[in-house]
Protein backbone atom coordinates (compact mmCIF):
# COMPACT_ATOMS: atom_id res chain seq x y z
CA UNK A 1 0.00 0.00 0.00
CA UNK A 2 2.78 2.48 0.76
CA UNK A 3 3.27 5.36 3.12
CA UNK A 4 0.51 7.94 3.36
CA UNK A 5 2.28 11.25 3.97
CA UNK A 6 5.66 12.91 3.78
CA UNK A 7 6.42 12.74 7.48
CA UNK A 8 6.00 8.97 7.60
CA UNK A 9 8.22 8.65 4.52
CA UNK A 10 10.88 10.76 6.20
CA UNK A 11 10.67 8.68 9.35
CA UNK A 12 11.02 5.50 7.29
CA UNK A 13 14.15 6.89 5.60
CA UNK A 14 15.65 7.81 8.97
CA UNK A 15 14.85 4.36 10.33
CA UNK A 16 16.80 2.78 7.50
CA UNK A 17 19.84 5.00 8.10
CA UNK A 18 20.33 4.52 11.84
CA UNK A 19 21.40 1.48 13.86
CA UNK A 20 17.90 0.60 15.06
CA UNK A 21 18.85 -2.62 16.85
CA UNK A 22 21.02 -0.99 19.52
CA UNK A 23 19.64 0.47 22.73
CA UNK A 24 20.98 3.91 21.83
CA UNK A 25 19.91 3.73 18.21
CA UNK A 26 16.34 4.32 17.15
CA UNK A 27 14.73 6.17 20.06
CA UNK A 28 17.73 8.40 20.70
CA UNK A 29 18.16 9.25 17.05
CA UNK A 30 14.51 10.19 16.63
CA UNK A 31 14.72 12.32 19.78
CA UNK A 32 17.71 14.24 18.34
CA UNK A 33 16.22 14.58 14.87
CA UNK A 34 14.97 18.03 13.87
CA UNK A 35 12.94 18.01 10.69
CA UNK A 36 10.37 20.42 9.31
CA UNK A 37 7.61 20.11 6.76
CA UNK A 38 7.26 23.28 4.72
CA UNK A 39 8.85 26.51 5.97
CA UNK A 40 9.49 26.44 9.73
CA UNK A 41 9.04 29.34 12.13
CA UNK A 42 11.76 31.69 13.36
CA UNK A 43 14.66 32.06 12.64
CA UNK A 44 14.28 30.24 9.32
CA UNK A 45 11.29 32.25 8.09
CA UNK A 46 13.46 35.39 7.73
CA UNK A 47 15.90 33.77 5.31
CA UNK A 48 15.47 34.94 1.73
CA UNK A 49 13.93 32.28 -0.46
CA UNK A 50 15.75 31.55 -3.67
CA UNK A 51 13.90 31.50 -6.96
CA UNK A 52 15.78 28.79 -8.75
CA UNK A 53 13.21 28.37 -11.52
CA UNK A 54 13.73 31.92 -12.81
CA UNK A 55 17.51 31.60 -12.59
CA UNK A 56 17.39 28.35 -14.58
CA UNK A 57 15.27 29.99 -17.27
CA UNK A 58 17.66 32.95 -17.53
CA UNK A 59 20.67 30.67 -17.97
CA UNK A 60 18.83 28.56 -20.54
CA UNK A 61 17.94 31.71 -22.49
CA UNK A 62 21.60 32.83 -22.50
CA UNK A 63 22.72 29.41 -23.69
CA UNK A 64 20.08 29.46 -26.43
CA UNK A 65 21.16 32.92 -27.64
CA UNK A 66 24.81 31.81 -27.72
CA UNK A 67 23.93 28.66 -29.66
CA UNK A 68 21.85 30.65 -32.13
CA UNK A 69 24.74 33.06 -32.70
CA UNK A 70 27.20 30.20 -33.29
CA UNK A 71 24.83 28.55 -35.75
CA UNK A 72 24.52 31.79 -37.72
CA UNK A 73 28.32 32.08 -37.88
CA UNK A 74 28.61 28.46 -39.01
CA UNK A 75 26.09 28.96 -41.82
CA UNK A 76 27.82 32.18 -42.87
CA UNK A 77 31.20 30.41 -42.96
CA UNK A 78 29.79 27.56 -45.05
CA UNK A 79 28.49 30.00 -47.68
CA UNK A 80 31.88 31.64 -48.23
CA UNK A 81 34.27 30.01 -50.73
CA UNK A 82 37.02 28.06 -49.05
CA UNK A 83 39.95 29.38 -51.06
CA UNK A 84 40.58 32.04 -53.61
CA UNK A 85 42.69 30.78 -56.49
CA UNK A 86 44.69 33.35 -58.44
CA UNK A 87 46.25 32.47 -61.79
CA UNK A 88 49.58 34.14 -62.34
- List, for residues 6-56, the tens digit of each pLDDT value: 667 777 777 777 776 676 667 777 777 777 666 667 777 777 777 788 888
In 3D space, the residue among 47, 11, 42, 39 whose CA is nearest the CA of residue 26 turns out to be 11
- List, for residues 45-56, the tens digit of each pLDDT value: 777 777 788 888
In 3D space, the residue among 9, 28, 5, 8 whose CA is nearest the CA of residue 18 turns out to be 28
In 3D space, the residue among 11, 6, 82 whose CA is nearest the CA of residue 38 turns out to be 6
The residue ranges of every structural domain in the chain are 1-38, 51-81
Amino acid sequence: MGLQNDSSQDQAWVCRMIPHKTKHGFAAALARLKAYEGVPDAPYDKIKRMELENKRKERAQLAYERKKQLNKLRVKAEKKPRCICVNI
